[in-house]
Amino acid sequence: MKQILVFVLIFNLTLLQAMSKKQSVDNVDDWEYNATTVSRDTSRNMPTLGMGTIKSMSAPVAMPSPMLRAKKIGLAVGGAKDTNNFLANIENGYLPKLESITYEGQFYNHYFDTGLDRKECKELFCPSYSSAKRKNPFVDEEEYFLSVGLNSGIKEGDFKRKKLNLVVVVDISGSMNSKFNSYYYDKLGNRVENDEVTEETKMTIANKSIVAMLSHLKDDDRVGVVLFDHNAYRAKPLNLVGKTDKEAIRDHILALKARGGTNWSAGYKEGLKLFDEVETNSEYENRIIFLTDAMPNRGELSKNKLFGMAKNATKKGIHTTFIGVGVDFNNDLVEYVSKTKGANYFSVHSSKEFSKLLDKEFDYMVTPLVYDLELKLSNSIYTIEAVYGSPDAKMATGEIMRVNTLFPSHNNGEATKGGIILVKLKKHPQMAHTEDFTLDVSYTDVNGKHYSNSQKVKFKNKDVYYDNTGIRKAILISDYVTVMKNWLIDSRAECNDVVSWANQQPIEIQKRCMLYPPLHPEYPSISTWERRSCKLKVSSGYKKFFYIFKKIYMKEMNALNDESLKKELNIINKLLNQTREAPKLKGFVDDWRYRK
């Protein structure tokens, strides 16, 4: 009996060893990173893994139910896909940077009724229009709004992303070794103390986030990895996932350590070179995911350098997703890159929350669907005054609105996540407002095919109205973002930014904080990308304003009966509870002039 047991044990061990050897032959650990070896421009002969069709070993995909099959996806603009950096700074006692909160990022935190009977949409993109008119509670002016609903006729059950050629470019510079909830460059100045303690560094969170991201790849995708500090290193060539030893690559990534300076261009350039080693075609989406704390301190102080590289890459069909890690993530620099065709960016608030996001949205974040969206307003009565909810809003001029990219977005059957762009119109004086006007839309799909359509829109002959809850909610959230942006512009003027406002007279807060930020007369310029922190403070004037704004916000929130709007209300309350500790500075006055 013992001999039989021994034989069975030996047989099982032999079988396991044989299976292990077979797996090691089929799945290759192609990790190349050596911290002492710098990548060079000369090409190297690399082993080519099989490119034939392979059976996917990914988790099986459940067939959608009839109800799910009938539900259609929505669309949302590229650019910022969250405002996590804004929230993280406030929670950790820091004054956020101006571009940490954007209209499109805040919209993507919410679902919107787009004003369309979704059964009518059978095209890739079906714009729907809603109108509203209100009296601005702060400046007592009549305002006209138009929302553009971003709808698609693609059924959720039919949506399938392309195969991916994915290159992950990872920042391993010394700043990535700092804690997530502190500013790396505070050690060069006055450190802001924080009561919240975390043991995780930005590098640790980045490593975990990359592993979570790679778990969503399929066996017929290709993945490569590039690392950079003051130099660039090819860590993994662009090879098939199905032929890769996934566990070994996972362990290599989790073992990455931060070191050295920062050279964005070197990392991005090395990432682009990996695409030269594979044959790309229309079956593949080519994308670089660039993960960094965005704190360049060597060779990359000019934003145009990286921006130009990313923009040129789109001409070759290579798009970019930026992922920022840490409270000191430099949104201002990435904001330029996010305006590039096919680009978007996310902020990692925690590796756990980012993993949850990927579970729901990975396929959406790497799949642009609509390019070069253009809206023309044909009439003699209205011009476009402002655009809320697109990273290309500054491109809006008088009669034209442009959006570089639309990505797929979740629809819950009634509303779409981030599925709206809000346009503020200016009516010419002494003109009737009941006349119809035409909206002409044109766009291209990912294959370059051109589409267009026209619709007539008319404002109602009422003093105040909203076509639906979607446009009313968008107006309220836009008010919130506008207030926060103008507060940041004023507040950072007392911190470490360089401000050219010496000869300007004080302006009433209650009027200027409702201005569209590009029109704000006191706009700071940034002297360096290596950001030190500013302590979170709220002036007495802004506290008074936030108190008034809170009352108006709550009235609208109750009218909309929308619990999701409590997220913004919580921030307002937190700012109202801040104490003013800054010393009185010469030349600064309490310019509060609000009169009921």
Angle at 127 (CA atoms; ends 446, 125), nearest 5 degrees: 25
CA angle 501, 503, 504 (to 5 degrees): 65
CA distances from 321 to 18, 80, 169, 367, 535 (A): 41, 10, 10, 11, 30
Cβ 392 vs Cβ 403: under 8 Å? yes
pLDDT number for residue 24: 46
Residue-wise pLDDT tens digits, 153-193:
999 989 999 999 999 999 999 889 888 777 766 654 344 34
Q: What is the 3-state secondary structure (H, E, C) of 434-489?
A: CCCEEEEEEEEECCCCEEEEEEEECCCCCCCEECCHHHHHHHHHHHHHHHHHHHHH
* 532 or 544, which is more confident: 544
Cβ proximity of 241 and 221 under 8 Å: yes
The type of residue at 208 is K
Count CB neighbours of 479 within 10 A: 21
* pLDDT single digits (tens) 1-31: 555 555 545 555 555 555 444 444 578 888 8
Domain residue extents for the chain: 162-365
Most confident listed range (32-46, 320-334, 401-415, 432-446): 401-415
The identity of residue 180, as a single letter, is: F
The three state secondary structure string of 360-374 is: HHHHHHCCCCEEEEE
pLDDT-based confidence at residue 452 (cuts at 50, 70, 90): very high
CA quadruple 88, 94, 97, 102: dihedral, nearest 10: 40
The winner for highest mean pLDDT among 69-78, 437-446, 511-520 is 437-446
Cα distance between residue 492 and residue 27, in whole Å: 53
The answer to whether residue 492 scores a pLDDT higher than 90 is: no
Q: Who wins on pLDDT, 367 or 431?
A: 367
Rounded to whole angstroms, how far apart are CA atoms 591 and 596?
16
User: Quick one: pLDDT at residue 140?
Assistant: 77
Per the structure block, which two tokens stand in for 148?
């553009």
Residue 208 has pLDDT above 60, yes or no: yes
Q: What is the DSSP letter of 337?
A: H
List, in order, residues 6 or more apart from 8 with CB less than 8 Å away.
none
Q: Tokens in use for 173?
A: 């510079």
Share of the chain above pLDDT 90, in %: 45
Please give the pLDDT value at position 262. 86
- 362-395 b/e (C-beta count within 10 Å ≥ 16 → b): bebbbbbbbbebebbbebebbebbbbbbbbbbee
Residues 6+ apart with CB under 8 A from 44: none
Question: How confident is the model over 34-85, as pLDDT tens digits?
Answer: 765 555 543 333 333 333 322 222 332 333 333 334 689 999 999 999 999 9
Element (H, E) at 353: helix 351-365
The highest-level CATH class for domain 162-365 is alpha beta
pLDDT at 337: 75
